[in-house]
A and B are shown apart, each in its own frame.
Chain A
Amino acid sequence: MMDILLPIVAPFIVLNVVVGLVTYVTLLERKFAARMQSRIGPYRVGPHGLLQPIADALKLMMKEDVVPTAADRPVYNLAPIVFLVPCMLIFATLPFAPGLGVADLNIGVLFFLAVSSMEIVGLFMAGWGSNNKYALLSAMRAVNQVISYDLPFVFSALIPVVLAGSLKMSDIAAAQAGGYGTGWFIFYPVIGQLGFIAFIVSTVAAENRAPFDILEAESELVAGFRVEYSGMKFALIQLGEYAHIIGASFLGALLFLGAWSGPGPEWVGPIWFLTKAMFIFLLVTWVRWSFVRIRVDQILALSWKALLPATLLLLLATAIIVVWRANGGA
């Protein structure tokens, strides 16, 4: 009985939790940004603005669904869905505690990285289907940027994989357990820190977050590929974006910060996992609200000339060290 129910109930629970988390993470970001700018942020809807995300969701659901006359209807209508599905699917392989996850595949990290790159298809469909030059320009920039930064993203994510010796996510988390936190891969001498920094930079860029958010650059392209979307379709795109960021934060917490390892009994594990993921998210948010964005050719130069060679060298160094240690090196 449980064998039949569990594969149905578990994804349902995970999806709902993720959607709830994503809506409240937007509130967290708004409050955090507001404090950085010496103001308060949402305050009136509910105590301290706690009902603001619900109000926003209701508003978006009640909006009229406008489709531009000359837009390519099938492409335009499908784009938000094609964008959202990979962003939700990445949560399938994340184990929230030892044994608590939807599908702990033994190629977990590979699945995550491959599926998260699929969002670019939805993005391009949105830009093309809108029949709008701003959206098209933004979609062209997006394809450029996401493809360039997915490579360093993959290579920096592979560093913990090589250190742990497995693509299975729970194995990587288990390899960092013990030692009161010193086993976390971020504390691995030199390679851990550099790998973490490379991971954060390529995550920010692959998710189109500032300072790499040229494709939604409001001041140039007026919301980029999203410019023709309103109402629920816009909500889906936003949901997908934030889900992707949260998913990548969870991945970063798992790969580098030891996932659920932390002081206290075992059932506190998922809470530690959440805390670490939020820490990475806030780091990314902090960067977003502090920097101006750089131009597209500078972004691409950074990726191909600096980040990609750096992550390749780091991966090579990691592999050499692992083999050396395995062969009995000191």
Chain B
Amino acid sequence: MTAPSVKRVELDYTGSERLTMNMGPQHPSAHGVFRAVLTLEGETVVGVDSVIGYLHRCHEKLAETLTYAQYPSIASKTDYVAAMTSEFAYVRAAETIGKFEVPKRAQYLRVIVSELQRVASHLLWLGTWCMDMGGALGGGATIFLYCIRERELILDLFESLVGARLLYGFFQVGGVRYDVPDGWIASCRETVDLLDSRISEYEQMLEENPFFMARAQGVGVITRELAESVGISGPLLRGSGVNWDLRRSDPYSSYEDFDFKVPVETAGDCFARYRVRMVEFRESLKIVRQALDRLPEGPISSRPGLKSVGQTRVPKGETYVRVEGARGEVGCYLVADGSAKPYRMKWRGASFSNLAILPHIIPGHKVADIVAIMGSVDPVFGEVDR
């Protein structure tokens, strides 16, 4: 049982039938900085060589030079669209090795913030995917602007909680850094109700549109075996029929207290992944409501007031901790040596593994399908390149 083989991409100009085209790092739908060298036969893609690394900032080496108190706000810059879940993995890894207790209130706050972040990230995904398929001057832009309008509501909530809209320093080893201000819970509930109604609108708008269905159905099919072998996770894995959600299978931070459904679709195409994410919208809002109802009182951190470098020591040990981010399994493999800085920190980015599926599924599709597939894979290049 060997892994499915990759087509060798011929990058030389082989006669008059094949065209080598570069979808360069500067491209309106590259979702960041991504370069794909395409080999085309007419409109059909025959081979793709993906070149990444344009956003490489060597987080892993950087983490060896920063303490456990300094790094979490840098961690949010890996998956900058879903920054809260990015910080989560690193902080939990340090807590697991050091066996630091996280108070219940902090756990619930972490859940609320992660789920709101998931909704915000999926809103951006929906907007940019439709924009890629429909054009920045066209129907796609309409849905993009509606989704951005909704996302602003969530970012406003984060701004009043943390002080930042996009990249937060909310998590710290032992708990969270800020407590909810007055009136936040009420405005959070209002926002959640409003988002619920708007999401039904988008579903209706898109699923009753035969053009959208023609672009999304049957495109970019990922089989279950390929999915597991490459290591894709999150909505991509669940869209290919694998019932695997870390919040359910490997619960952390009180996720076992909440009642939510894990959507699974078997078709494996772009439409299946779209359906998975649309259901995840609703389930995340459900979790937020439950967490707001049952938010316990108590301290928000077991190690408050960490200011000096020496206080953040983590004993010797190693662990791999994973979190269900908006894009999949975000993990942190941490090797600690008893000092205030990690010895080795490996960041398992969900988008890095998700993007590795492209050379397997793109050949055979048309040029127009590349953007549809890339949009449904939803990479964020902060996570890919780190």
Contact = CB atoms under 8 A, between A and B. Distances in A.
Contact of A292 (B140, B145, B149): B140
Output the residue of A33, A36, A289, A296 with the most chain B CB within 10 A: A289
A186 B21 CA distance: 47
B153 to A, nearest CB: 13
Nearest to B139: A291
Interface in B134-169: 134-142, 145-146, 149
A210 B21 contact: no
Given A292-B215, A295-B369, A210 B131 contact: no
Interface in A286-305: 288-298
B42 to A, nearest CB: 8
B244 interface: no
A216 B28 CA distance: 12
Contact of A290 (B136, B142, B366): B142
A283 B17 CA distance: 41
Interface in B233-266: none
Contacts of A293: 133-135, 138-139, 211, 215, 368
B367 A220 contact: yes
Given A289-B138, A293-B211, A298-B214, A218 B28 contact: yes
B43 A296 contact: yes
Interface in B1-58: 19, 21-22, 27-29, 40, 43
Contact of A297 (B29, B43, B133, B211): B43
B136 A292 contact: no
B367 A289 contact: no
Contacts of B369: 295
B139 A292 contact: yes
Contact of B368 (A37, A39, A217): A217
B132 interface: yes
A219 B29 contact: yes
Contact of B371 (A211, A216, A220): A220
Interface string A43-87: 000000000000000000000000000000000000000000000
B142 A219 contact: no
Contacts of B19: 133, 137
A52 B27 CA distance: 28
Given A37-B145, A291-B134, A292-B211, A220 B368 contact: yes
A289 B142 contact: yes
A220 B370 CA distance: 8
A6 B167 CA distance: 68
Interface residues of B, number: 35
Given A36-B142, A292-B211, A293-B211, A219 B366 contact: no
B142 A37 contact: yes
B135 A38 contact: no
A219 B140 CA distance: 10
B139 A218 contact: no
B192 interface: no
Given A37-B141, A210-B139, A137 B21 contact: yes
A222 interface: yes
B21 A37 contact: no
A296 B368 contact: yes
B106 interface: no
Contact of A291 (B29, B136, B209, B366): B209
B149 A210 contact: no
B93 interface: no
Contacts of A292: 130, 133-135, 138-140, 209, 211-212, 215
Given A37-B141, A289-B138, 9 more contacts: A37-B142, A38-B145, A39-B145, A211-B139, A213-B138, A219-B135, A219-B140, A292-B215, A293-B133
28 contacts: A37-B141, A37-B145, A38-B146, A38-B149, A39-B145, A137-B21, A137-B40, A137-B43, A141-B43, A210-B139, A211-B138, A211-B211, A218-B135, A219-B29, A219-B133, A220-B368, A290-B142, A292-B130, A292-B134, A292-B139, A293-B135, A293-B139, A293-B211, A294-B214, A294-B215, A295-B215, A295-B368, A297-B366
Top-7 shortest CB links A-B: A292-B134, A219-B29, A210-B138, A291-B139, A219-B132, A37-B145, A292-B133
